[in-house]
Structure 1
Amino acid sequence: MRYEGNIYRPPGEWRSYLLQVTVGCSHNKCTFCSMYKDKQFHIRPMADIFEDIEMARAYYNRMGRPVKRVFLCDGDAVIMRTEQLLAILKKLYDTFPELERVTAYAGPRSALTKTPEELRALREAGLYRVYLGVETGSDELLHTIKKGVGAQEMLEAGIRLREAGLDLWVMVLLGLAGPGEPSRRHILATAEMMNQMKPRHLSALTYMPEPGTEMGEQVERGEFQLITGPQALEETRLLLEHLDVDPLHFTCDHASNYLPLKGGLPEDRQAMLSAIDLALEDQELLRSEYGRGL
């Protein structure tokens, strides 16, 4: 098993075999993200990918561990040609008889390049879940952070993935607009988009500045104001109040968050709102700045 550069995966994929099929991010211009800045995006040769799968089979057989889950790295496996992805999926399921699911990050522009028929074919071939970084439902903010698509395109990408039968997991960023009225507009637009997109899972992370990024430099120069812990809780509360997706698996338990929350909507909404209110009354319950991370 060989990897180029640092490898990133969603927290829930910690038990997955990580297969690098692309290197870096096909967009790689988001102002808040530093994950793939050290890589030049490219698609790995199919021969190398297949060789890595054989190497993984030998390794896991030697360890006596069945491969049940595979995550396709790096930042946007869906950009590969459909026939390439279908060949990789077939190879994986043929190689690992106990394989249950294959998952990947999907870029919004890459999702839009695939026809509904292509996306359904990928689902039928065993691509079970895709993770989509929406970040915000605000059209203005999407352009500000250089996400590469506007709100309508982002919405269409998410709907297209979900309607293909893929298990859609969306990530959004609290604090991305800063405090005050921009914060409220960001959250209300995000809730509205989620209610139309209808993902099965929604994770809310909290923005933290990273060195070497445009937003990180704006924070250093005092041009962008970070939200406080209580303000992050207010954003979370506003989001939960306005989400109308049923059912929805909601998580806000990333290391960047001030208060870990997890539950199903609508059944756990009130319990999570009560936990937020309790933490707003007693801020000792909040994770310290030193205890937060990416």
Structure 2
Amino acid sequence: MKYDEQIYRPPKEYKSILLQVTSGCTHNKCKFCGMYRYTNFKMESLEQIEKDIIEASNHPFYRNTKRLFLLNGNPFVLQTERLLKIAELIHRYLPKVEVITTYASIKDIERKNDEELKALKEAGYNDLYIGVESGNQEALTFINKGNTVEEAIREMKRLDKFDYYYYAMILTGLMGKGVDKAIENGRKTGEMLSQVNCRGIFPMSVTIVPGTELWEMYANGEYEEATEYDRLIELREILENLNPQKTALISSAHNSNTMYIKGIVPTEKDRLINEIDEILSEASPEEMQEWIDRRRIRL
């Protein structure tokens, strides 16, 4: 099967078939992100896609696989007609596949009308991974996210209307060093996520990557990195203000996070907050700073 040299997929998709339908990211302007910095966006041909699907169908490991993840940056940007054709090919050669999942941006969703979202859901598209990052408009503007908080809420509510499963990926530490910044960003993110019905919330933490605009700001003294203490305070504040209408999984399993938490909100919210409070009471900010060497993290 054809893959770019560097591919990314969520931890949850470790058993899924990985099918490359695009390369790169159509936005590719977020200050913190180096994933596709030097990759020009392009679409794979339908011929190549069909060839890869047939190859997967002939592999004994994939024959009974129920999930298929589309690569790379934001395949949901593709025109609905093309996505439906890809779904048709998947179901033709891989009839056991029940869910077609992918990364999607808020703008990708915005470009599709209600009829298109409904048709894609019926074709098997679900479990969308959305880089929400923050509920703080100042943070989104700072990182050049390309959408507003209001747009994010509106588009996730449109997904709710068609009963999509989707997961919000959020980033702690975006605004840099400072407890006040952590509290504000956490509060606004928690309040935003309380207005929609995402089925999963996956916190990650900003890691400054060479070659990104954020790295240049950091190297020039224009950006001071958040401390590990700041990041924990922000995670706690997100939980404190998180009151979703339906239950959602929250998991900080990503290796960029200061500590690991996992549970269902709101039912296990108090337990999760208590776990963070226990760490905050047992370790000093100076001790926490020794827990992670962020220059060695590989994303």
Structure 2: give runs of 5+ residues left out of the alignment: none
Q: Deviations over 1:101-120 (max 9, x none)?
A: 11001111111000011111
Conservation of the 8 A alpha-carbon contact between 1:5 and 1:39: no
Q: Deviations over 1:123-181 (max 9, x none)?
A: 11111210100101122221211111112112222222232221010011000012233
Q: Which moved more, 1:207-216 or 1:186-195?
A: 186-195
Q: Which amino acid is 2:107 matched to?
A: R
Query: Secondary structure in 1 aligned to 2:195?
Result: helix
TM-score, normalisation: structure 1: 0.94
Report whether the alignment pairs 1:239 with 2:230: no
Runs of 4+ more than 4 Å apart: 284-287
Aligned pair partner of 2:148 in 147, 150, 158: 150
Query: Secondary structure in 1 aligned to 2:28?
Result: coil
CA distance in 1, matches of 2:291, 2:160: 36
TM-score, normalisation: structure 2: 0.92
Q: Deviations over 1:180-224 (max 9, x none)?
A: 333222222211211112211111111110000011121222221
How far does residue 64 in structure 1 lie from its aligned partner after superposition? 7.3
CA distance in 1, matches of 2:17, 2:43: 19
How far does residue 264 in structure 1 lie from its aligned partner after superposition? 0.2
Equivalent residue number for residue 43 of structure 1: 43
Q: Which moved more, 1:175-184 or 1:1-10?
A: 175-184
Conservation of the 8 A alpha-carbon contact between 1:279 and 1:285: no
Query: Secondary structure in 1 aligned to 2:96?
Result: coil
Structure 1: give runs of 5+ residues left out of the alignment: none
Query: Secondary structure in 2 aligned to 1:147?
Result: coil
Equivalent residue number for residue 205 of structure 1: 204
Q: Which amino acid is 2:101 matched to?
A: T
CA distance in 2, matches of 1:112, 1:240: 28
Equivalent residue number for residue 73 of structure 1: 71
Q: Deviations over 1:68-89 (max 9, x none)?
A: 2110011111111111111111
Q: Compared with structure 1, are the counterparts of its residues 99 and 64 closer, same or farther at alpha carbon in structure 2 (3 Å cutoff)?
A: closer
Conservation of the 8 A alpha-carbon contact between 1:19 and 1:71: yes
Q: Which amino acid is 2:292 matched to?
A: E
1:122-201 → structure 2 map (5 Å cutoff): 122-178=120-176, 179-201=178-200
Q: Which moved more, 1:151-160 or 1:242-251?
A: 151-160
Q: CA RMSD in A?
A: 1.8
Q: Which moved more, 1:181-190 or 1:169-178?
A: 181-190
Query: Secondary structure in 2 aligned to 1:173?
Result: strand
How far does residue 97 in structure 1 lie from its aligned partner after superposition? 2.4
| Aligned positions, number | 292
CA distance in 2, matches of 1:72, 1:41: 15
CA distance in 1, matches of 2:72, 2:164: 19
Aligned pair partner of 2:291 in 263, 288, 293: 288
CA distance in 2, matches of 1:220, 1:155: 34
Equivalent residue number for residue 268 of structure 1: 268
Equivalent residue number for residue 254 of structure 1: 254
Report whether the alignment pairs 1:223 with 2:222: yes
Instruction: Give me the identity figure in percent.
Output: 35
Equivalent residue number for residue 93 of structure 2: 95
CA distance in 1, matches of 2:154, 2:235: 24
Q: Which amino acid is 1:94 matched to?
A: R
